Chains A and B, each alone.
Chain A
Amino acid sequence: MSLQGLVSGAECAVPFNPLSQVLKHTDGDRSIQQDRIAGPSGSRLQHLPSTTAAPGSERDLALARQFFDNNGQASSSTPNFAIPRHIAPPDMSRFMNAPGASSELMAAWAESQHKQQLHMPGPTLQVPQSSGSAWAGEFGSGMQVVAPGPSVQQSMAQQPNFYQSSYMGSRMYGGIPMNMFSTPMNMTTTAVDKGKGKSREIDFEAAFAEVTQSLGPSEAEMARIVELDDTADLQEAMSGVSLESIVDSQPPVGADFKTVWDQLQNSDMPPPVEDVAKWEAEFNQLMNSQRSSDLDFDYGAMMQGAWESGLGNWGEPALESGTKFNEEGLPVLGEYEFDAGNQHLDPSTSTQSPLEDAKRLLEQNGSLTEAALLLEAAIQRNDLGKGGYEAWILLGEVRSMDEREEQGMRALTEGVRRAEEAGAAGEGMLSLAISFTNESYERASHTMLLRWLKARFPDHPIPAEAWESLTQSSWHSHDRVTEIFINLAREQHSKGVLDPEVQVGLGVLFYTNNEYDRAKDCFEAALSVRPADFMLWNRLGSSLSNGNHPEAALGVYREALNLRPTYTRAIYNVGVACLNIGAHKEAAEHFLTALAMQDSSAGPKSEQLWFTLRRAFQAMDRQDLADKATANTDLDVFRGEGFDY
């Protein structure tokens, strides 16, 4: 373990090594606390806070190493007591304002602060040192992460934050000892954190005091301290190391300590032990009251639980009967189902190229259902268009526009597959990603977007980590993929390019994460390049509608419907916006319009539309109508009920 390496390595370098000594202190610090918990011993300092320190981690040690190495190199022997950086005024004032802090406490605090000022340089006194400012500078630079009140002890208090981010961020917890997660990490309020840091400083003092008390190096006592350490692996490393280092280096350093301690004892301001005791008692009280109001939050235990039960087997295939997903989160949907009674299949009634017919129909704002049937016929008659994928992708897009997402997804999946085979990777991928988003297959959407980006911008770097993230949770993959898209968009921006498709991709990513305001900005940017794209208008509207601006969304949908009056999805969305505003009757009418539009063929209507219509009726307190709104009902029934559509 690095701990051992640190101590023994440093030992080799310097004959009597301050680092090993101080490590012993931090070690002693923790064990004293445990000792307190187990049973107080009269010979020790009283009223130590009963907080459990986080076990020293590699990071702490790295900081410690940086700090002490620098100290060890200094050569003059002038002790320096003035270390202003140690006392961080904002930190202190915050503490003073903490609820429950009495004037007594403040007085005690002021006193103990004084005392700290005298005590804390203790360890550095053993070390010959040239300049205090260098000390402070080095110390500060080593503690960049920890903003206020730099001290090794405080960095421990910051630890939970650090691990929290890295833990979810990049799955790098392999190297972190598991027991990090089992220690209580109380991090909900910064006040608590800071308080803990302070309490550890007091612990440090106590440790310091204890060392002076037990100056005659009693091996038994040291051994006991180590035994009480709670972390098994640390203990193993430490018991060997600290014992031998203590035995080796104790006498000379001990003597040094003694002189320092005596000096301190005889100095002008002897530490008022009673006040400190009082202060700590009150401090404990304060800490405990804060902790209990904390919704008994135990992050460490939670993470442990998550690890044991969830994360450990995330790769386990989804449950048997549900939709199957491949390892990149793409749903396995099955074959596209063609409409059985498709009249365009009959060669006698249709023209030479149903694909061309479908395209013409789409240009003329014809019925989407009709166009879809033409495209189906085209595919079945092997009129596949460009590269053997054009008809499939067009069919998928038309099905999605016609509010038939399931069929759209299947057709698009087939189209994307064929396009990749034909060497035109990227075609249809954006549409498919959007379909996945609508059906809440977030991870599939992220996968598709990333593949699209790779196909369209082969030069843009995609770290392997991002591909890996796709096999994990959608939270994780979202962060990774978004980062890549943002980088690309920035790069383009710096070149003065605005690629509407990249903006759409980015918008979809924000949309999947409920960041509708940012999604809106992306779609607006795309619209500034392609103002006649009705699908973009609809997407902008949906971002507004889901982002709690349904009124604004209505105007945007109108733009989309002006460009394409038969856009079933936009009509559906208008209905949803009306429903969310509270205009239930209007909502029902829009849903009926959309249903009527799908009526022009023999194919089944969208279940989604019927379902939302039922909800509109329920919102109107018309359960009788809701009961009628099923797939087999003639729409004219509702016309008779006074619905105008």
Chain B
Amino acid sequence: MSTIKAEGFKGSETLAALAAVFDSYSDEEKKAQIKKTNGIFEIRLKNANGEEGIWTIDLKTTGSVYKGESKSKPNVTILMSDETFQQLATGKLDGQKAFMTGKLKTKGNMMFATKLDGVLKSAKAKAKL
């Protein structure tokens, strides 16, 4: 997990937490998650100092989070500021609004990016209706 965190990126902690969640999935649960999402997100964050960090959420083959560019072609690359990513992860901003206001940019399959909300939510235990 220490490999995921990066100095100066608040979002890296969220991603590390997400990685921990993925680690704690049983094989069966992991399979279910992969089945539900079935794709690779490459996330490029820009922090306040203008540095860029790249992470990949692979929910297609391995069900893992790692730092660096995607090893195989990502379904979507999502570009945003570190700040925006934090707001997305905490639910203060939803992906739609972020996209519409230009805080979030995508490369690749934009419709697939809509699934990121759900993936980030799974980092936090959520009550059910």
* Chain A positions near chain B (C-beta within 8 angstroms): 164, 168, 187-188, 295, 297, 299, 302, 305-306, 309-311, 314, 318-319, 321-323, 403, 405, 434, 437-440, 473-475, 508, 511, 513-514, 538-539, 541-542, 545-546, 548, 553, 569, 572-573, 576-577, 579-580, 607-608, 610-612, 614-615, 618, 626, 630-631
**Contact indicator B129/A539 (Cβ below 8 Å):** yes
Set of chain A residues within 8 Å of B124, measured between Cβ atoms: 580
Identify B26's interface contact among A473, A577, A630, CB under 8 A: A630
Stretch at the interface among B6-14, B63-71, B110-118: B110-118
**Contact indicator B128/A572 (Cβ below 8 Å):** yes
User: Distance (Å) between the CB of B20 and the closest chain A CB?
Assistant: 7
Determine if B107 is an interface residue (Cβ-Cβ < 8 Å).
yes
**Contact indicator A310/B127 (Cβ below 8 Å):** no
Interface centre among B34, B114, B118, B125 (most CB of A within 10 A): B125
Set of chain B residues within 8 Å of A188, measured between Cβ atoms: 101-102
Set of chain A residues within 8 Å of B25, measured between Cβ atoms: 611
**Contact indicator B118/A546 (Cβ below 8 Å):** no
**Contact indicator A542/B129 (Cβ below 8 Å):** yes
| Bound CA–CA A444/B64 (angstroms) | 27
Set of chain A residues within 8 Å of B129, measured between Cβ atoms: 434, 437-438, 508, 511, 538-539, 542
**Contact indicator A323/B110 (Cβ below 8 Å):** no
**Contact indicator B128/A611 (Cβ below 8 Å):** no
**Contact indicator A573/B127 (Cβ below 8 Å):** yes
18 more A-B residue pairs beyond the given contacts A309-B108, A322-B34, A437-B129, with a C-beta to C-beta distance below 8 A: A310-B76, A310-B112, A321-B35, A322-B38, A440-B118, A508-B129, A513-B94, A514-B91, A538-B129, A542-B128, A546-B127, A569-B128, A607-B26, A607-B29, A611-B25, A612-B125, A618-B20, A630-B26
Set of chain A residues within 8 Å of B32, measured between Cβ atoms: 607
Identify B21's interface contact among A311, A548, A610, A615, CB under 8 A: A615
| Bound CA–CA A607/B34 (angstroms) | 15
A443 nearest CB neighbor, chain B only = B114
| Bound CA–CA A514/B120 (angstroms) | 13
User: Distance (Å) between the CB of B75 and the closest chain A CB?
Assistant: 8
- Give 11 pairs: A residue, B residue, CB < 8 Å, sorted on A: A188-B102, A302-B102, A302-B105, A305-B107, A310-B113, A475-B96, A539-B129, A541-B127, A611-B24, A611-B29, A614-B24
A604 nearest CB neighbor, chain B only = B28
**Contact indicator A164/B127 (Cβ below 8 Å):** no
Determine if B56 is an interface residue (Cβ-Cβ < 8 Å).
no
Interface of B is mostly: mixed
| Bound CA–CA A576/B125 (angstroms) | 6
CB-CB under 8 A for A310 and B108, given A297-B102, A302-B102, A626-B24: yes
CB-CB under 8 A for A306 and B106, given A164-B100, A321-B35, A618-B24: yes
Determine if B46 is an interface residue (Cβ-Cβ < 8 Å).
yes
Contact with A along B50-61 (1 / 0, CB 8 A): 000000000010
A613 nearest CB neighbor, chain B only = B24
Set of chain A residues within 8 Å of B113, measured between Cβ atoms: 310
Identify A309's interface contact among B28, B35, B110, B118, CB under 8 A: B110
**Contact indicator A305/B106 (Cβ below 8 Å):** yes
B20 nearest CB neighbor, chain A only = A618
Set of chain A residues within 8 Å of B86, measured between Cβ atoms: none
CB-CB under 8 A for A322 and B107, given A542-B128, A580-B125: no
Interface of A is mostly: helix
Determine if B73 is an interface residue (Cβ-Cβ < 8 Å).
no
B109 nearest CB neighbor, chain A only = A310
**Contact indicator A553/B127 (Cβ below 8 Å):** yes
The contact size tier of chain B is 35 or more
Identify B127's interface contact among A318, A439, A513, A545, CB under 8 A: A545
Interface centre among B34, B38, B81 (most CB of A within 10 A): B38
Set of chain B residues within 8 Å of A611, measured between Cβ atoms: 24-26, 29
User: Distance (Å) between the CB of A585 and the closest chain B CB?
Assistant: 15
Set of chain B residues within 8 Å of A553, measured between Cβ atoms: 127
| Bound CA–CA A612/B26 (angstroms) | 11
**Contact indicator B111/A323 (Cβ below 8 Å):** no
| Bound CA–CA A10/B110 (angstroms) | 43
CB-CB under 8 A for A168 and B114, given A576-B127, A626-B24: no
Set of chain A residues within 8 Å of B94, measured between Cβ atoms: 513-514
A319 nearest CB neighbor, chain B only = B38
**Contact indicator A405/B26 (Cβ below 8 Å):** no
User: Distance (Å) between the CB of B54 and the closest chain A CB?
Assistant: 17
**Contact indicator A607/B110 (Cβ below 8 Å):** no
| Bound CA–CA A57/B112 (angstroms) | 31
Identify B125's interface contact among A297, A439, A513, A579, CB under 8 A: A579
**Contact indicator B35/A323 (Cβ below 8 Å):** yes
B59 nearest CB neighbor, chain A only = A322
Set of chain A residues within 8 Å of B81, measured between Cβ atoms: 295
Set of chain A residues within 8 Å of B37, measured between Cβ atoms: 322
Set of chain A residues within 8 Å of B46, measured between Cβ atoms: 295
| Bound CA–CA A553/B96 (angstroms) | 27
| Bound CA–CA A543/B88 (angstroms) | 18
| Bound CA–CA A297/B81 (angstroms) | 11
| Bound CA–CA A599/B76 (angstroms) | 42
Set of chain A residues within 8 Å of B96, measured between Cβ atoms: 475
| Bound CA–CA A310/B110 (angstroms) | 5
User: Distance (Å) between the CB of A630 and the closest chain B CB?
Assistant: 7
User: Distance (Å) between the CB of B11 and the closest chain A CB?
Assistant: 15
User: Distance (Å) between the CB of A633 and the closest chain B CB?
Assistant: 12
| Bound CA–CA A309/B38 (angstroms) | 18
Set of chain A residues within 8 Å of B125, measured between Cβ atoms: 576, 579-580, 612, 615
Set of chain A residues within 8 Å of B38, measured between Cβ atoms: 318-319, 321-323
CB-CB under 8 A for A323 and B36, given A295-B81, A309-B109, A310-B109: yes
| Bound CA–CA A553/B126 (angstroms) | 12
| Bound CA–CA A311/B111 (angstroms) | 7
Set of chain B residues within 8 Å of A548, measured between Cβ atoms: 91
User: Distance (Å) between the CB of A102 and the closest chain B CB?
Assistant: 28
| Bound CA–CA A630/B29 (angstroms) | 11
Set of chain A residues within 8 Å of B110, measured between Cβ atoms: 306, 309-311
**Contact indicator B102/A314 (Cβ below 8 Å):** no
